[in-house]
Amino acid sequence: MAFVFKPAVYKSSVLYELPRPVQVLRVRDGWDASRFKVPLADGDALVGHSRQGVDITLEGQIGSQSGALKLSEGDMLEGLEALRSALDVSSASEKFEFFLYHDAASGTYRKFKSCSAVQFEMDLSNQSLFTYSLVVHAENPVLYATAPGS
């Protein structure tokens, strides 16, 4: 099994690889529970654990995309505009799959389903290398090992 780190968005039958390099990718899980405390007794009890959706935080630069270098400011801005478009979700039917790893040759995939972007920031102040940060929320906390669209 070959793991190839390639963060990507899959929406409307199109796989959009995020610009590289990606310096930070964090996956944050959370759980809900009710906490009960008895007065004058030490400790407490948590009951009713249920898993929340997953937040994925990513920070990257736009030096290349899908193997093609982005050398000019225009190329970098064009890449960020394409990323903004791929992340745009205006209805429930447009939610996307977010891949952490994908390698079609070996059939290796790791992805989250039912995703939408909750924050996107781009920094254009360094004309040599634009940076971006992104927060994606996956409603479904399961990490799937299936191909795009399945």
The residue-averaged pLDDT of 95-99 equals 97
Residue 78: what pLDDT? 92
Residue 65, pLDDT score: 82
* Four-residue CA torsion sign, 3, 64, 147, 143: positive
- Give the domain 5-29+54-138 fold: Elongation Factor Tu (Ef-tu); domain 3 (2.40.30)
* pLDDT at position 91: 82
pTM over 0.85: yes
Q: Where are the domains of the chain?
A: 5-29+54-138
Is residue 142 scored above 70 in pLDDT?
A: yes
CB burial of residue 27 (10 Å; 0-12, 13-18, 19+): middle
Please give the pLDDT value at position 64: 82
pLDDT at position 104 is: 86
- One-letter-per-residue 3-state SS of 48-84: EEEECCEEEEEEEEEEEECCEECCCHHHHHHHHHHHH
Inter-residue contact 115 to 62 (CB < 8 Å): no
Residue 1's pLDDT band (boundaries 50, 70, 90)? low
Digit-coded pLDDT (tens) for 68-95: 888 899 999 999 999 999 999 988 788 9
The predicted-structure confidence for 110-133, as pLDDT tens digits, reads as follows: 999 999 999 999 999 998 899 999
Which position has the higher pLDDT, 20 or 93? 20
